Amino acid sequence: MMDWTDRHCRYFHRLLTQHTRLYTEMVTTGALRHGSLRRHLRFHEEEHPVALQLGGSEPEDLAFAAKLGQEWGYDEINLNCGCPSERVQRGAFGACLMAEPALVADGVKAMVDVVDIPVTVKHRIGVDRIESYDFVRDFVGQVSEAGCQVFIVHARNAWLQGLSPKENREIPPLRYEMVYQLKRDFPHLTICLNGGVTSNAQIATHLRHVDGVMVGREAYHNPWLMAGWDHEFFGEPASALTREAVEEAMVAYMEREAVDDDCPWYPIARHMLGLRHSLRGARRWRQIWSDHHLKPLPPRAVMAQAWQGDPQPV
């Protein structure tokens, strides 16, 4: 979710669900060693619970980054062992780390030793042509011994050569049963499932077998899906929240960001373009919020134009 789940996106998502845990885009240990901490680590208090996802492989660097994450107030440190992109591979982290469980375990232990918040791992079920369940079972077993108690498992292999990141999300088959088996074999661990989840019914089905479900791209492109999660999965009363109220809240947020951080509205608005997914008039609404000719206007004036025609459910 690089370049997607930034702090503006997470603020938007938190308007839709109060209890779902949010994750940052992956932040590399190098960026935290040499870049702007404020740029990479700042977030809004409203985002809690929120996890900082790290990309890296050197235990010393991971410990440094995890300690920073705790100091900045994050609720969890998550190590990415699932991203298959070539850029990530060149940095010797992401999905290629699954072939080095001892190194991952060393990194996890280094982080666990310096923070009091949970250290978790996100990974695939295999890499390239390794399709044996034993591979992912042994990976989880070895890393858990280092102190990781939560594993978020993308139920596909990662092909490190020959497939783009997009193809890696579509071509390797989903094998949910392998994730279910991990929970059966490690009942004391928290096992969460990721990959290909597009509906609340699917989430409910998976939760009969695992402890949690992570939803990525579907939540981004169809964010209203999240509006019912607090009721369906966290036992809260049904919400009376409307899309219009969410859009109003985002416009107010854009106005504050313009004053407090000199941030224009359009890099914020891009994250809510799926808000009217499946509604009549949604295409025109998206076009208005995406129109670069409207950038000089204040966000409230853009919203007024977007509401002309009053999009309604199909």
For 3, 111, 254, 290, the CA distances from 262, given in Å and listed in that order, are 19, 35, 10, 20
Do residues 73 and 46 touch, judged by C-beta distance below 8 A?
A: no
Q: What is the dihedral of CA 254, 256, 261, 262, to 10 degrees?
A: 60
**Exposed e or buried b for every residue in 213-227, given b needs 16+ CB within 10 A?**
bbbbebbbebbbbbb
From 81, 83, 96, 148, active-site residue? 83
Cβ atoms of 156 and 125 within 8 Å: the answer is yes
- Judge whether 232 and 244 are in contact, CB under 8 Å: no
List Cα–Cα distances, 131 to 76, 124, 127, 170, 196, in angstroms. Answer: 30, 11, 8, 16, 18
Can 192 be counted among the known catalytic residues?
no
Question: Which residues are marked as active site?
Answer: 83
